[in-house]
Amino acid sequence: MRIKFVAVAALVLIVILTAVAGCTRGKGEVVSLAFVEGAFKEIYASDESLDLSNAYILVTYADGSVERVKVTADMVSGFSSAVATSSGKMTISYGGKSIDWIYRVTGSGGIQTTFRLKIGYTPGESFGSVTVSAEGVSGSSNGIYAVAFDLVLGSGIAIAEGGITCGVSGFKSAVNADGSNIRIVLWSADGVTSLNEGATLVLFGISGSKGTLTVQNASVSDGVSDYTVPATSYTIG
């Protein structure tokens, strides 16, 4: 029994010493980061997601060794494709060091606002419930005081009885229907009250089990300038 215990103790000691030796042979702290040529995407379309499919950096350690490291989303900060720009900047961090990558965002019409319209849909027994809400309001330093957009109903769906309700506190609204195309305009009643982030602009029921709902020809005003907002759609069924 004693021999077996000594053997086990010796094995544990060997494992500990090996681990310590491994730590001693470590590469040391990260000294610098560099980009792998051609690894990072340079041009993004408006609202395009971050693409890290081929993103690698070169990491130099204190012992002089260099390692090629795959970049993951948790290593990146500052990326946004909401607004067209020729000098977007994202920061890649690793091992206590960081490096900046400059990219461009292009888009039809040159989108210059972070504001977006989001369509939400909840199915129901008789008809579904649809909301169109505001996102990216916080990206406007001046606030958002007016919104206008076309609501287009695809084949197979229609506005349910009860019509469209515009429910933004402190805002007035106008709804003009032309067949399946509905123009909606909302504006601050006192010219001072701004939209809140996530505010529900319109709410309505929709009949039909299949079809596409599109929000297009949208624009917003921050009280100084008007800005084009990208179209968005939601397919039911």
CA 233 distance to own-chain centroid: 16
Asked which of 106, 132, 148 is the last residue of a domain, the reply is 106
Residues 98 and 165 in one domain: no
> What pLDDT digit, counting tens, does each position of 119-139 carry?
999 998 888 999 999 999 988
Whether residue 19 is contained in a domain is answered as no
Q: Over 60: is that where the pLDDT of 8 sits? A: no
Using alpha carbons, select from 129, 157, 135 the residue that is nearest to residue 213.
157
> Which amino acid would we find at residue 136?
G
- Residue 10's pLDDT band, with cuts at 50, 70 and 90, is very low
Using alpha carbons, select from 201, 148, 193 the residue that is nearest to residue 170.
193
> What pLDDT digit, counting tens, does each position of 156-200 carry?
899 988 889 987 999 999 999 877 789 999 999 999 999 999 999
Whether residue 8 is contained in a domain is answered as no
Question: Chain-wide mean pLDDT for the chain?
Answer: 84
Q: What is the pTM of this model?
A: 0.61
Residue 147 is given by DSSP the state E
**What pLDDT is recorded for position 26?**
60
CB atoms within 10 A of CB 200: 16
**What pLDDT is recorded for position 133?**
96
Q: Answer left, alpha or beta for residue 75, where phi above 0 means left and psi between -120 and 50 means alpha.
A: alpha
Per the CB < 8 A criterion, the answer to whether 84 and 95 are in contact is no
Which residues form the domain of 48?
Answer: 29-106
Residues 93 and 202 in one domain: no
Residues 48 and 147 in one domain: no
The Cα 24–Cα 61 span in angstroms is 14
Whether residue 7 is contained in a domain is answered as no
Domain count along the chain:
2
Pairing mode, if any, of strands 158-166 and 76-77? Answer: unpaired
